[in-house]
Structure 1
Amino acid sequence: MKSENNLERTAIIKGDLKFTSIGQIIKSDQFIKLIKTFIKELDVKKPYFIRTLEPFQNEIGEFNEREFIDFVYLLNINSLDEIIRSGYFDIQFTYEEYSQLFLEFLEGFYNYWRGIQRFMIKMDSYSPDESTKRSKVFSLASNNDAFRKMVLDLYRNIHFNVTGKSFSIYRQLPSGAQVAFLADHFEFDREVKSKNDSLYQIPYIWEAVFEPPVIFYTQSNKRDGVFPVKDKRILQKFYLANDEWFGIPLKVGRLLAIVYVQKEYLALGAGLFNLFEMAKPEEFTKEKPDAAVFFGLDESIFEEDEKLGFVAKEDDVYYGLLPALPQIDYFGYMKKMLLTLHNVIQIENKALPVHGAFAKIRVHGKKSANIMLIGDSGAGKSETLEAINKLPKDCACDFDILIDDMGSLHFNKEGDLMAVGTEIGAFVRLDDLQPGYAYNTMDRSIFMNPNIVNARVIVPQMTYEEIAKSTRVDFVFYINNYEKIDDTAPPIELFDDLDAAYEVFSEGKRMAKGTTGEVGMTKTYFANPFGAVQLKEEHEKIAKKTFRKMQETGVKIGMIRTQLGIPGCEQDGPYIAAEALVAFIDQLNSEKK
């Protein structure tokens, strides 16, 4: 279901075609559709070069797209001057007049094509054999390469035949599919199926090929509200059309999840491949998922308080549902819905979900410290860790990120506090990163709305094996982004009083930076609006028990001041915090000698 202001911003290219001639593009249904939607935009904006279309309109202004397509086909192989002189088309302009008009139309259409989200999808049978899989992936990449070449050749041929001149500089601009997918229809074991049979008729994506730099522009750039948890049955309320929806199987930490995405939101679906581990067909066809997300459902099935998405449990599976609305066309909704489902399941399993970052930090090659940083969006968790990379080399420090945004805490049989992560990547706010970071990761990142405030990058960072295993936690810090560092408020502070520590964590105070719909000083229970708020009573029992046991087992609890929410401290604040954190770990190592 597409919203009215969201028409045809996604192009789906058939990946089973080997593009060998430009005619395959010009005569395709996709090309005709693109011409129509581009002309609709011109009808609204009314640029002067809209007069390019006059020769292909009848007396009442109706556009003959077939005749125009024939004209474009001829223009690929003949000069504009020859076509005008032939009289085959009723072009009542001189060559000089019409060449200028059409050149502007060509540039506008080419930029329009490169500005929409472009995906190539090849239906190809999955094979567990690694050599066969590689062969299929290479074939898909080759088809996209051929398609990109055909698009470039078409643009350059027409440009030459309009102007009579070649380019002084040839730029190999990204013109093919930004992401290519291999998909297949799978047979699911009977016992893993839900009561909605349409879920098993759609194609499931089993491999992806990215063409960097991958840049997507979505209709929204921030997330608002929390997802309510509803006690209702929902599976019979919708149907997934097999030519509109795709299934994306994932591992969210140790949980199995499937995301069902409507094709107009494939950009958000593509972002998942940089953030979560893909689940294999051998897993998702034979195991019942722990959770599932539906992104792009018809708005009519949602109640008023559900318009930003909601959670429901049915037949032992947690489901997250989001409607096809412009205001939630933002990757944060996709990511946070998955993490909300993860957290609700963790609470049900008596583990403590945490909204935070977790890293193993080493100083001077000595014993490392495993540091958990807890805080809400924009507090400075990822920024502080990334700032460690900017410290002087003589600090001799390095780190491994094990959790970037969400994880869970539990105690093992020996009584050690352990952490398990959820994501293999990071969804990072570009505005707060150290200069140059984004460019260092451009070849493997997905950029979201890089031209506006709260621009984001999704970058892979860890392996699944690293984030899915239990790792001991040495220190738990609350990330304070709102207090200025001074003599009474140091960068790092340890709590002596357990009640005081618990109050700081449970209050969840931060200075909101516009990463969500909040601004100014805010409070969110345990800095975690993703499950903890919705199931506060159950969460609080687990949290209090965890804090008491942390004190009993010697896990230190403290606070780090990043100053990220203080104007003017966006860069220096996390750097100072990183500097203090490394010095803190270095001092610990010295004391242990």
Structure 2
Amino acid sequence: MGRSVIIDGSIVYTDSSEILSNPGFEALLREYIDVLKERNSPLLRTLEAFRIGEDYDIRHIVEYLHLLTLRNIREITTIINYVNPEDLAKFVESFYSFWRNKHRFMMKRESYTLDSARKTSIVFTAAMVAEEFKNLVRNLYRTIMKNIISDNTNIIRQLPSGAQVTFLVDTFECTQEKLRHFDNVPVIWGAIFDPPVIFYTKSNKRKGTLPVVENRVLDRIKLPNKERDWYLVPILAAELLIYIYVHKEFLSHAAGLGNLFQFAELIDMKSKQVSGVLIFGLQPELIPDYKPEWKNGVIFKEENTYIGVIPALDENDYFGYMKKTILTLHNLIRVDQGKLPIHGSMARIVLKNGKSAVAMFVGDSGAGKSETLDALNRLEEVAYVDVIIDDMGSLDIVNGRVVAYGTETGAFVRLDDLPPGYAYYTMDRSIFMNPDKINARVIVPFNNYKEVITPTPIDFFFYANNYTETDNDEDRIVFFDDVEKALEVFSAGRRMSKGTTSEEGMTESYFANPFGAVQRKEAHHKIAQVFMKKMFETGVKVGEIRTMLGVEGYEKEGTYLAAKRLYKIIEQM
């Protein structure tokens, strides 16, 4: 059955017998029993009455569970050999946990519509179907348990038991000639989350840099069982249309896209050219001219289109590969356009005294970009921090001024470096990834699409230095007075690794941006020189902010001290 369970949303579940009689239930029970057999679990002794040789009669077990929805176990001992109630209760409890540990998705096929009233009705109906299913699963479990063993507790826990995410899917005729052979892949055009949404993936770190290879591959890539096993998520990274093809086993990452990017509308799919394509979860043997060095992903360039491919390997089962490949596609396109892609965050910082400034922070993962913005937001003197870019954006020149715009409407935040209460504060709208592990992450929406893509003039352009220790408040932020010196620091991209990737210790990454900049280093550097010179000419303050996030003992306090210093500078403007 696999890790992802697909629930048919076209069925309105009204009775627990509909769940028990569903072929998916038998398949789930078979998979669970196979796991118990592999582990030689003592829970198997519960099923001795259903044993046939070396196997078990799955159909008979299902019929027995159905009887337990109607009658007490003591009333059906004459129908089958004795089953120990205590053992059976443990078996059912464990089976229920096995189900809840799956990644559970409901797929409801609905024709896409631009009519807002019709769309609202579709979403309401889908949410109702998902809610009914969740309640039925929960009540099925409780009824069976009540009829197995008496429970006098007055405490009831409403455990998440249904679909974690309900996707609205349709099938569109592809208007992009180069993607015609991907026709009939169901298109995800909407999603309904049932928080808290928590996914446990097989990997929790990202490795390496994606190589860019010029190769004609689109007509050579085949998606096996594309109508059944693959889904298309069309998104907008800034204004760029990118098609994401996801295998069902990696649907948790597709769900993450709902909190991170703007889903493209049908009008976008018809009017825009596809700028990039990502295929996530393709078996290595199906990747054209596959090489072992591509195991963590590869980007092909075919004429004017970039195609990213992430192989279906356990070590790639991490949302960072989904997000960063999309952003690499975006950045490569920006370099081709002569714009400067920036790996960083940007926000409008408004003080209570009315003064404000727009600051951009450049730095690789773990440099302290998001953490500094969060620290600013917690200062008493700050009215609010309007985050416009969380991780990736682009610089452009409009009417003689350097402006920036973002790509994402959400953030993929590392929880380890944020205040303990942050996880609870965002629980009702977030997607949590591996919350019990180092580099635990949360995907949380933070802004609307229109504001993210609106060109915003910048006042400060900082390199986020997480490794330099300083006790002097004046040295927490230093400004450059020379273009070449600034370019030297930004180009070096130094940082102390925080465990967010496979790197350790002091590392360097060109312009702190392994997502397109390093692959197109020569072209990128020429563009960077133009923009840096323009910033100095137009009064944008270019400097270095020392977050100390990588300095032992300052993981929490460092970003607060840096934020406090920046507040003082803005106050004196």
TM-score range, shorter chain: over 0.9
Provide the residue aligned with 2:548 in structure 1. 563
Q: Residue type matched to 1:200 in 2?
A: D
Provide the residue aligned with 1:64 in structure 2. 57
Deviations 1:16-43 (A, max 9, x none): 1111110111111111111111112212
Question: Is the 1:350–1:542 contact (alpha carbons within 8 Å) kept by the matching residues of 2?
Answer: yes
Structure 2 residue 134 is matched with structure 1 residue 148:
yes
Provide the residue aligned with 1:51 in structure 2. 45
Query: CA separation in 2, counterparts of 1:524 and 1:574?
Result: 22
Structure 2 residue 230 is matched with structure 1 residue 230:
no
Provide the residue aligned with 1:333 in structure 2. 321
Provide the residue aligned with 2:27 in structure 1. 33
Structure 2 unaligned spans of 5+: none
Deviations 1:395-437 (A, max 9, x none): 143210110000011111x210100100001000000011211
Provide the residue aligned with 1:318 in structure 2. 306
Instruction: Name the SS for the 2:105 alignment partner.
Output: strand
Provide the residue aligned with 2:117 in structure 1. 131
Question: Is the 1:295–1:323 contact (alpha carbons within 8 Å) kept by the matching residues of 2?
Answer: yes
Structure 2 residue 432 is matched with structure 1 residue 451:
no
Identity %: 46
Instruction: Name the SS for the 1:531 alignment partner.
Output: coil
Question: Is the 2:174–2:180 contact (alpha carbons within 8 Å) kept by the matching residues of 1?
Answer: no
Provide the residue aligned with 1:90 in structure 2. 81
- Give 1:100's match in structure 2, choosing from 79, 86, 90: 86
Provide the residue aligned with 2:185 in structure 1. 202
Query: CA separation in 1, counterparts of 2:502 and 2:395?
Result: 28
Deviations 1:123-156 (A, max 9, x none): 1111211111111111110001110111011000
Return closer, same or farther for 1:8/1:295 CA change in 2, 3 Å cut-off. Answer: same
Q: Residue type matched to 1:217 in 2?
A: Y
Q: How does 1:202-351 map onto structure 2 within 5 Å?
A: 202-240=185-223, 241-300=226-285, 301=287, 302-351=290-339
Provide the residue aligned with 2:366 in structure 1. 378
- Give 1:527's match in structure 2, choosing from 507, 512, 523: 512
CA root-mean-square deviation:
1.4
Q: How does 1:435-450 map onto structure 2 within 5 Å?
A: 435-450=420-435
* Alpha-carbon distance, 1:346 to partner: 0.3
Instruction: Name the SS for the 1:340 alignment partner.
Output: helix
- Give 2:101's match in structure 1, choosing from 115, 135, 139: 115
- Give 1:424's match in structure 2, choosing from 403, 406, 409: 409
Deviations 1:327-380 (A, max 9, x none): 010000000000000000000000000000011111124231110100000000
- In the comparison of the two structures, how many residue pairs are matched? 568
Instruction: Name the SS for the 1:513 alignment partner.
Output: coil
Query: CA separation in 2, counterparts of 1:574 and 1:33?
Result: 51
Query: CA separation in 2, counterparts of 1:170 and 1:370?
Result: 49
Instruction: Name the SS for the 1:225 alignment partner.
Output: coil
Query: CA separation in 1, counterparts of 2:46 and 2:222?
Result: 43
* Alpha-carbon distance, 1:165 to partner: 3.2
Q: Which moved more, 1:517-526 or 1:168-177?
A: 168-177
Instruction: Name the SS for the 1:296 alignment partner.
Output: strand
Query: CA separation in 1, counterparts of 2:353 and 2:275?
Result: 40
Q: Which moved more, 1:121-130 or 1:215-224?
A: 121-130
Q: Residue type matched to 1:341 in 2?
A: L
- Give 1:574's match in structure 2, choosing from 542, 559, 566: 559
Q: Residue type matched to 1:366 in 2?
A: G
Structure 2 residue 185 is matched with structure 1 residue 193:
no
Instruction: Name the SS for the 1:345 alignment partner.
Output: helix
Q: Which moved more, 1:375-384 or 1:233-242?
A: 233-242
Provide the residue aligned with 2:11 in structure 1. 17
Query: CA separation in 1, counterparts of 2:334 and 2:316?
Result: 25
* Alpha-carbon distance, 1:167 to partner: 4.1
* Alpha-carbon distance, 1:555 to partner: 1.4
Structure 2 residue 162 is matched with structure 1 residue 176:
yes
Q: How does 1:352-431 map onto structure 2 within 5 Å?
A: 352-391=340-379, 393=380, 395-412=381-398, 414-431=399-416
Q: Residue type matched to 1:539 in 2?
A: H
* Alpha-carbon distance, 1:487 to partner: 3.7
Return closer, same or farther for 1:344/1:518 CA change in 2, 3 Å cut-off. Answer: same
Q: Which moved more, 1:575-584 or 1:330-339?
A: 575-584
Instruction: Name the SS for the 1:207 alignment partner.
Output: strand
Provide the residue aligned with 1:591 in structure 2. none
Provide the residue aligned with 1:502 in structure 2. 487
Question: Is the 2:359–2:461 contact (alpha carbons within 8 Å) kept by the matching residues of 1?
Answer: yes
Q: Residue type matched to 1:406 in 2?
A: M
Question: Is the 1:371–1:476 contact (alpha carbons within 8 Å) kept by the matching residues of 2?
Answer: yes
Q: Which moved more, 1:310-319 or 1:102-111?
A: 310-319
Query: CA separation in 1, counterparts of 2:347 and 2:150?
Result: 60
Query: CA separation in 1, counterparts of 2:201 and 2:507?
Result: 26
Question: Is the 1:160–1:166 contact (alpha carbons within 8 Å) kept by the matching residues of 2?
Answer: no
Q: Residue type matched to 1:377 in 2?
A: S
Instruction: Name the SS for the 2:444 alignment partner.
Output: strand
Q: Which moved more, 1:161-170 or 1:550-559?
A: 161-170
* Alpha-carbon distance, 1:488 to partner: 9.3
Query: CA separation in 2, counterparts of 1:366 and 1:161?
Result: 65
* Alpha-carbon distance, 1:315 to partner: 4.2
Provide the residue aligned with 1:483 in structure 2. 468
Question: Is the 1:148–1:174 contact (alpha carbons within 8 Å) kept by the matching residues of 2?
Answer: yes
* Alpha-carbon distance, 1:497 to partner: 2.5
What TM-score, normalized to structure 2?
0.97
Question: Is the 1:397–1:582 contact (alpha carbons within 8 Å) kept by the matching residues of 2?
Answer: no
Query: CA separation in 2, counterparts of 1:285 and 1:359?
Result: 33
* Alpha-carbon distance, 1:245 to partner: 0.5
Query: CA separation in 2, counterparts of 1:508 and 1:278?
Result: 32
* Alpha-carbon distance, 1:489 to partner: 7.4
Instruction: Name the SS for the 1:78 alignment partner.
Output: coil
Q: Which moved more, 1:534-543 or 1:237-246?
A: 237-246
* Alpha-carbon distance, 1:166 to partner: 5.0
Question: Is the 1:432–1:570 contact (alpha carbons within 8 Å) kept by the matching residues of 2?
Answer: yes
Instruction: Name the SS for the 1:181 alignment partner.
Output: strand
